[in-house]
Amino acid sequence: MIRAAGGVVRRDRLIAVVHRPHRGDWSLPKGKLEPGEDDAAAAVREVLEETGCDAVIERDLGTVSYTVADGRPKSVRYYLMTARAAAADTAADVDVVRWLAPEGVEELLTYATDRDVLARAREVL
């Protein structure tokens, strides 16, 4: 099982989405857990790496599971997060970070699982 974590990150009523050119997709910021890391710590780290923003967790949005291209199962834990400040450059695997109204995010996201997580966040926004 591949374990990952990420966030629906908001700032000024806008939501962050990232473009990963090596995959050609638009997604919510997320990434794999490092050894010994828990879900919350991984989500905060991945959001910082992929958006350049330090963020604080507000609430748990649950987990989504799917199978990756090579057939392995993957589980991603998501959190609703608020960006506190831009703090750093983005990771090399992200070339664009866009901040959009929730309606615009849904249209841009490549994956249905990300749209499902966004819907969970919109219920509590």
DSSP state of 13: T
pLDDT-derived band at 125, boundaries 50, 70, 90: confident
**% of the chain with per-residue pLDDT over 70:** 96
Q: How far apart are CA 48 and CA 43, in angstroms?
A: 9
**Count of domains in the chain?**
1
Q: How far apart are CA 112 and CA 29, in angstroms?
A: 15
Model confidence at 124: pLDDT above 70? yes
User: The domain spanning residue 108 has which CATH number?
Assistant: 3.90.79.10
Could you write out the DSSP letters of every residue in 30-57? EEEPPTT--HHHHHHHHHHHHHSEEEEE
Beta carbons within 10 angstroms of residue 73's beta carbon: 11
Of the candidates 8, 77, 82, the one whose C-alpha atom is nearest the C-alpha of residue 37 is 77
pLDDT-derived band at 85, boundaries 50, 70, 90: confident
Kindly state the average pLDDT of the residues 42-69. 95
Q: How far apart are CA 105 and CA 124, in angstroms?
A: 16
pLDDT-derived band at 88, boundaries 50, 70, 90: low
Mean pLDDT of the chain: 93
Higher per-residue confidence, 118 vs 86: 118
Kindly state the average pLDDT of the residues 77-91. 83
**Cβ 57 vs Cβ 44: under 8 Å:** yes
pLDDT-derived band at 87, boundaries 50, 70, 90: low
| Residues of the domain holding 70 | 2-124
Kindly state the average pLDDT of the residues 37-49. 96
Specify the 3-state DSSP secondary structure of 94: coil
Specify the 3-state DSSP secondary structure of 105: helix
Specify the 3-state DSSP secondary structure of 106: helix
